[in-house]
Amino acid sequence: MRYQTVIGLEVHLQLKTKTKAFCGCAIDFGKTPNSGVCPVCLGFPGTLPVYNKEALNSAIKVALAFSCQIQEHTKFDRKNYFYPDLPKNYQISQFDLPLSRHGYLDIFSDNKTKRIGITRVHLEEDAGKLIHESNASMVDFNRAGVPLLEIVSEPDLNSPQEAFDYLTSLKNIIEYLDVSDCDMEKGSLRCDANISLRPEGSKELGVKAELKNMNSFKGVKDALVFEVDRQAALLEAGQAMVQETRLWDAENGETVSMRNKEGAKDYRYFPDPDLTVFIIEQTMVSRIKSQLPELPHDKMRRFMRDYGLSEYDAKILVSSKKNAQFAEECIRKYPGKDKKNMANWLIGPMLSEANSRKVELHELNVNMEDLISLIGFVENQSISHLSAKLVLTQMIDSQKPAELIIRENNMLQISDTAELEQVISGVIRENEKSVTSFRAGKTNALMFLVGQVMKKSAGKANPKIVGELIKRRLTDA
């Protein structure tokens, strides 16, 4: 039987405010354990939490960027459970009146744009960190109380690749907003995945597994790929699925069931009496909306309109905030009329250099003026496109300017016709067969002859000029 994969993602995002969500403790993860704590975030009796204005602003920005409806009336609830990383034995979170609902995120997957629903974006606080020793667990509360956002997607994702693309898109938008570091390895972005399979065409959702413990986007994708196979095999064998939480074991490349001790979770949510409600006025929402930076999708549209780029190319350039900034500066500084020339260089040779070095465009350390001068050499036909690419590689490796590399390597193209004519005469003399077939109308032969001239000139001949010269010689005669 064919199955449809159904995936929903829960993303937790640490907001990079100066202080924690409910107290004035500075957020600094490099610090000595338990040096960034106070009676509020240690959950001492008699203390009162007060929410951070900047965290609320950032949260509204994120909700708006995902086109969510900001709820006029929102409040905090207590989510009760016992675990030693939680000093109060409850986490301050939001239950029935979250900050926002009904948003969406467009992803670009498999060359198609797909809209993924966002169920809600709500506010909560982070827990502390546990380090397990042989006979005890050690607790560091520096992270306890750091403001978190929970971003819950609808089960609209239908493949591990779509889940990966969703995370990439989400991260890109958050980076543009500059409200979180979004670093999964450092834990500032965390992701749990719900996944189930159902027979193709079925409307009912299958029994899901909740996957945890992935610490990279690729980890999320790998865990989902494994889970699709595992669940399909179980269904195929007619075995009943159990709803359970499974941990991703990256080393062995498998998900492992967490033995379920507690049964169904019962968090006994109730409104936190220590925190008053929030009435979010429309004027506040409009003010924040007007302060939003240009988001990736808008930037892409503008790149297409202003610089004549294709959607595909524009998408690549806006896929990270820093890349987009770098690209736009290059394009603006480029003096040529057709801005697309510069864009082609960025998407072509520059991007492949970046990919092969596993860095981003802006991290290549290519000086913009220098790149412009290199493109100039190609445009006035002083060097071939092929050698320009070699020069670019050397520019990055040696950090020397383009012009110096071209001169040092004697790469200037021979466009001097007198010099070229000599080489051409030789080639024509040595390749009678090709000459005859060219005269018989076989254009391929011309390519061959040009190739021979290029070879003799050690790649320095200007192929366009060579082609024209040969053509003229053979048709005139």
Size of the site for Zn ion (CB under 5 A): 5
Q: Which of 41, 64, 157, 449 binds Zn ion (CB under 5 A)?
A: 41
Our finding on whether 375 is near Zn ion (CB under 5 A) is no
Structure tokens at 150: 């929970």
Give me the least distance between CB of 85 and Zn ion, in Å please: 15
Number of neighbouring beta carbons within 10 Å of residue 330: 24
Residue 239's identity, in one-letter code, is: Q
Q: Which residues contact 225 (CB under 8 A, 6 or more apart)?
A: 160
Nearer to other proteins, 262 or 432 (CB): 262
Q: Is 144 in the site for Zn ion (CB under 5 A)?
A: no
We find the least distance from the C-beta atom of residue 98 to Zn ion, in angstroms, to be 24
Q: What distances in angstroms separate CA 252 from CA 220, 226, 228, 336, one per listed residue?
A: 14, 11, 16, 53
Helices 160-177 and 53-65: crossing angle in degrees, nearest 10, is 130
C-alpha closest to that of 272 among 80, 121, 52: 80
146: three-class secondary structure by DSSP: coil
* Positions in 220-259 near Zn ion (CB under 5 A): none
Q: Could you say whether residue 38 binds Zn ion (CB under 5 A)?
A: yes
Amino acid, single-letter form, for residue 292:
L
Question: How many Å apart are CA 163 and CA 257, to the nearest integer?
Answer: 21
Query: How near is the Cβ of 187 to other proteins at its closest, in Å?
Result: 18
Closest of 14, 43, 444, 309 to residue 187, by C-alpha: 14
Q: Which residue number, 136 or 237, has a Cβ lying nearer to other proteins? A: 136
User: Of 25 and 318, which has the nearer Cβ to Zn ion?
Assistant: 25
Token pair for 294 = 């240009």
Question: Which of residues 286 and 310 has its CB atom nearest to other proteins in the complex?
Answer: 286
Closest CA to 274 of 21, 73, 76: 76
Out of 11, 13, 23, 445, name the contact with Zn ion by CB under 5 A: 23
Name the minimum Å distance from CB 90 to other proteins.
12
Stretch that binds Zn ion, among 34-42, 314-322, 365-373, 400-408 (CB under 5 A): 34-42
Q: Which does 82 bind (CB under 5 to 8 A by kind): Zn ion, other proteins, none?
A: other proteins
Rounded Cα distance, 12 and 287, in Å: 26
SS3 category, 318: coil
Rank residues 74 and 462 by Cβ distance to other proteins and give the closer one. 74
**d(Cα 227, Cα 160) in Å, to the nearest integer?**
10
User: What's the min distance (Å) between Cβ of 189 and other proteins?
Assistant: 21
- Residues lying near other proteins in the complex (CB under 8 A) are found at 17-19, 23-26, 32-39, 42, 50-56, 75, 80, 82-84, 97, 130-133, 135-141, 266, 268, 271, 273, 275-279
**Residue 205 and residue 195: Cα distance in Å, rounded?**
10
- Out of Zn ion, other proteins, none, which partner does residue 83 contact, by CB within 5 to 8 A per kind? other proteins
Decide: helix, strand or coil at residue 301.
Answer: helix
The interface with Zn ion within residues 61-120 (CB under 5 A) comprises: none
CB of 106 to other proteins, least distance (A): 31
Name which of other proteins, Zn ion, none residue 131 binds, using a CB cut-off of 5 to 8 Å depending on partner kind.
other proteins
Q: Which helix (H) or strand (E) holds 426?
A: helix 417-430
Separation CA 98–CA 66 (nearest Å): 15
Which of 22-30, 230-238, 440-448, 449-457 is the region at the interface with Zn ion (rule: CB under 5 A)?
22-30
Find all residues with CB under 8 Å of 31, minimum gap 6, and list them.
142
Tell me phi and psi for residue 434, to 5 degrees.
-65, -35
Taking the least distance from each CB to Zn ion, the nearer of 142 and 231 is 142
> Which residue, 53 or 429, is less far from other proteins as judged by CB?
53
Burial class (CB in 10 A: 0-12, 13-18, 19+), 349: buried
Compare residues 249 and 468 and give the one whose CB is closer to other proteins: 249
CB of 22 vs Zn ion, minimal distance in Å: 8
Residue 17 interacting partner from other proteins, Zn ion, none (CB closer than 5 to 8 Å by kind) = other proteins
Task: Please identify, using beta-carbon distances, which residue of 135 and 475 lies nearer to other proteins.
Answer: 135
377 binds, among other proteins, Zn ion, none (CB under 5 to 8 A by kind): none
Query: Using CB distances below 5 to 8 A depending on partner kind, what does residue 133 bind out of Zn ion, other proteins, none?
Result: other proteins
Q: Is 25 in the site for Zn ion (CB under 5 A)?
A: yes
- Residue among 131 and 242 whose Cβ is closer to other proteins: 131
Distance separating alpha carbons of residues 296 and 178, to the nearest angstrom: 13
Binding site for Zn ion (CB under 5 A): 23, 25, 38, 40-41
